[in-house]
């Protein structure tokens, strides 16, 4: 089903040296050691998640017949507007046919997997022969400039994935999970209609992340998630050729890798120069792994996303090429 | 892992300058920040295969609160050898 993946990063780089100049208590090398990140990209003041998804889609559609696309799915938590739907605007900007369905869906770090499942469902149901799955996120616009914890982690990015009924690259063995009781652990208060308590003004407050609780959540849910995916696929861990987890931060996902007993050479680590790009982190890792030959025809790939919601999901991808 | 060994590991993770006891306030340790708490979560998972119930970290004020959480995972033999153990 997955036929091609392309990503787009904004121009502006925020390096560890930039951050160390702002927060001298966290030297550049310490940031790298704790996060595995050397730099992240930041969208410009007039650059939106829709723009990042648009440019990724332009790369993907460059030499392709746009008239085949029957659906656009756009995963974002920083839409261009609350209304209209960013995916509708992207239908027009990308010159896609008017018979195309379009919708946004609001998820973060697990969003790419949910998007794959939605697209796979649309294709299997016969609603269309080609789905354009986009992700676009500009968390940088939610961050408190003084919050070194979140500024070191998050980067902006967009991605575009073409899912085609004619592609032999099959997605299967999906597993999903949700625990809304942990919603407060990663939240932008006031970003919707529910106003923050107390005397705070209306409108979005800076993003709040309880890093230890989010990590605690991942160590609790990710190992069982992987077991359930393998069980669904009727395979063992050793039968998986490559693992692409959401690139939360290197410390956290390396811990998960060790706990699960996954060899380092089978495990994607692609956040060094982009940071945690939320719903774009898995497609960035896939594009990079395809480019450098880590993903090759005949391989079985396990994908897993987990984070804000709290929400998680995973699946298997049989890559035929 | 005995409680003594656990306290040594905890002292390393939370960057304590001197030995810690159950009564040591967590706020007095320089490593008790978000990075230290992430390291603690990793240590509990790695060494004891223990995952904290959601929201329990905020309630931990003293080292003993963490020991109480993981108590059943520490060596049973250690309990008998430690008459001062409080639950």
What's the pLDDT score for residue A44?
97
Which residues in A250-259 are b (16+ Cβ under 10 Å) and which e? bbbbbbbbeb
In this predicted model, what pLDDT tens digit does every residue of A132-166 receive, in sequence order?
Answer: 999 999 999 999 999 999 999 999 999 999 999 99
Answer yes or no: do B57 and A252 touch at CB < 8 A.
no
Please give the Cα distance from A257 to A20 (Å, whole number): 29
Please give the Cα distance from A123 to A125 (Å, whole number): 5
Helix %, strand %, coil % for chain A, to 5?
Answer: 40, 25, 35
What's the pLDDT score for residue A200?
65
Partner residue facing B41 (CB), from A179, A182, A212: A212
Answer yes or no: do B38 and A258 touch at CB < 8 A.
no
What's the pLDDT score for residue B1?
86
**Substitution target from A212, A250, A260, A309 for chain B, most B beta carbons within 10 A:** A212
Give the range among A5-14, B26-35, B78-87 with minimum mean pLDDT.
Answer: B78-87
Residue of B nearest to A184 (CA): B55
Tokens of A145: 């400039």
The answer to whether the predicted template modeling score (pTM) of the entire model surpasses 0.90 is: yes
**Which residues in chain A land under pLDDT 70?**
198-201
What's the pLDDT score for residue B87?
41
**Do the beta carbons of residue A220 and residue A281 sit within 8 Å?**
no
A241 touching B, CB under 8 A?
A: no
Nearest-Cα distance to chain B for A259, in Å, is 7
3-class secondary-structure state, position B31 = coil
What's the pLDDT score for residue A22?
95
What's the pLDDT score for residue B80?
47
B38 touching A, CB under 8 A?
A: yes
Please give the Cα distance from A244 to A299 (Å, whole number): 13
């Amino acid at each position: 089903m997955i036929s091609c993946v392309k990503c787009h990063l904004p121009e502006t780089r925020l390096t560890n040296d930039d951050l160390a100049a702002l927060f001298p208590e966290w030297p550049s090398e310490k940031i790298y050691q704790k996060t595995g990140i050397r730099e992240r990209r930041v969208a410009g003041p007039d650059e939106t998640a829709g723009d990042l998804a648009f440019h990724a889609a332009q790369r993907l559609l460059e030499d392709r017949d746009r008239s085949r696309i029957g659906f656009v799915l756009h995963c974002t938590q920083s839409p261009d507007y609350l209304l209209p739907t960013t995916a509708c605007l992207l239908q027009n900007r990308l010159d896609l046919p008017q018979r195309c369905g379009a919708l946004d869906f609001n998820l973060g770090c697990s969003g790419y997997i949910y998007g794959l499942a939605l697209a796979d469902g649309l294709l299997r149901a016969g609603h269309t022969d080609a789905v354009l799955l986009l992700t676009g996120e500009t968390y940088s616009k939610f961050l408190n400039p003084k919050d070194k914890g979140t500024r070191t982690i998050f980067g902006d990015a967009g991605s575009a994935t073409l899912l085609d009924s004619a592609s032999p690259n099959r997605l299967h063995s999906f597993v999903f999970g949700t625990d809304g009781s942990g919603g407060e652990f990663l939240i932008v208060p006031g970003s919707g209609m529910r106003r923050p308590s107390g005397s705070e003004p209306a409108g979005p407050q800076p993003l709040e992340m309880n890093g230890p609780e989010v990590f605690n959540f991942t160590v609790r849910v990710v190992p069982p998630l992987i077991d359930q995916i393998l069980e669904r696929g009727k395979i063992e861990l050793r039968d998986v050729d490559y693992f692409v987890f959401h690139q939360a931060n290197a410390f956290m996902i390396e811990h998960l890798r060790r706990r699960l007993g996954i060899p380092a050479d089978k495990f994607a680590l692609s956040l060094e120069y982009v940071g945690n790009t939320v719903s774009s982190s898995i497609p960035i890792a896939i594009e990079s792994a395809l480019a450098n030959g880590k993903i090759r025809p005949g391989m079985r790939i396990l994908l897993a996303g987990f984070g804000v919601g709290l929400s998680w999901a995973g699946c298997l991808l049989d890559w035929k090429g | 892992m005995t409680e003594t060994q656990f306290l040594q590991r905890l002292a390393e993770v939370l960057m304590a300058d001197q030995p810690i006891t159950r009564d040591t306030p967590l706020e007095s340790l320089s490593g008790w920040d978000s990075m230290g708490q992430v390291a603690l979560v990793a240590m509990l998972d790695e060494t004891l295969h223990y995952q904290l119930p959601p929201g329990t970290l905020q309630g931990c004020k003293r080292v003993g609160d963490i020991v109480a959480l993981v108590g059943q995972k520490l060596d049973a033999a250690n309990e008998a050898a430690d008459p001062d153990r409080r639950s």
